[in-house]
A = this chain, B = another copy of it.
């Protein structure tokens, strides 16, 4: 599996998962859905509005890093918006825009764009921690994927904890592409 075939489908699938989770939140809790953007797992953790934006940001950031290109200012602004979302959570429509922008960006990428990126040198400057040097392959496995899943699953956990009725089928809806047709059990 190249970084392209590993990372890009993962990002697209899981961003669509987030869209589906928001669909369910809005359908099930129409009067309360916008408030959920300020909910969090703990009072000193980032709220849902942040988790959604970090997922959208990181799915794009990793591509630029693996291509050895600077992360565009407009994209860094999404990360800043994420960090500020405790005070300015925006609306669900705003969050959907960030997810849709990430999906649209990923759709522009050639199918082999990251194939050579496994040996690209990656530097992560983590404020307060130090500087980390990895290859592209190590970055994908040990940083990009764990971080991205972190934000997707904190979003899931927040919504689940707030009473939105979601389950495994909402988390991995991409799996239904692999369903053996005659075995499908109607919901």
Contact = CB atoms under 8 A, between A and B. Distances in A.
Contact of A179 (B2, B9, B132): B132
Interface string A131-152: 1111001101111011101100
B41 A178 contact: no
A141 B178 contact: no
A175 B132 contact: yes
Contact of A3 (B1, B131, B161, B171): B1
A42 B172 contact: no
Chain A contact residues: over half helix, strand or loop, or mixed? Answer: helix
Identical copies of this chain, number: 2
Contacts of A13: 142
Interface string A7-25: 0011001100000000000
Interface string A93-135: 0000000000000000000000000100000100011111110
Interface residues of A, number: 50
A163 interface: yes
Contacts of A141: 1, 5-6, 9-10
A174 interface: yes
A33 interface: no
Contacts of A175: 124, 132, 142-143
Given A42-B161, A42-B163, A138-B178, 13 more contacts: A1-B2, A1-B118, A1-B137, A41-B157, A124-B175, A129-B179, A131-B179, A132-B178, A142-B174, A147-B172, A150-B171, A153-B157, A157-B157
Interface of A: 1-3, 5-6, 9-10, 13-14, 41-42, 45, 118, 124, 128-134, 137-138, 140-143, 145-147, 149-150, 153-154, 156-157, 160-161, 163, 169, 171-172, 174-175, 178-180, 183-185
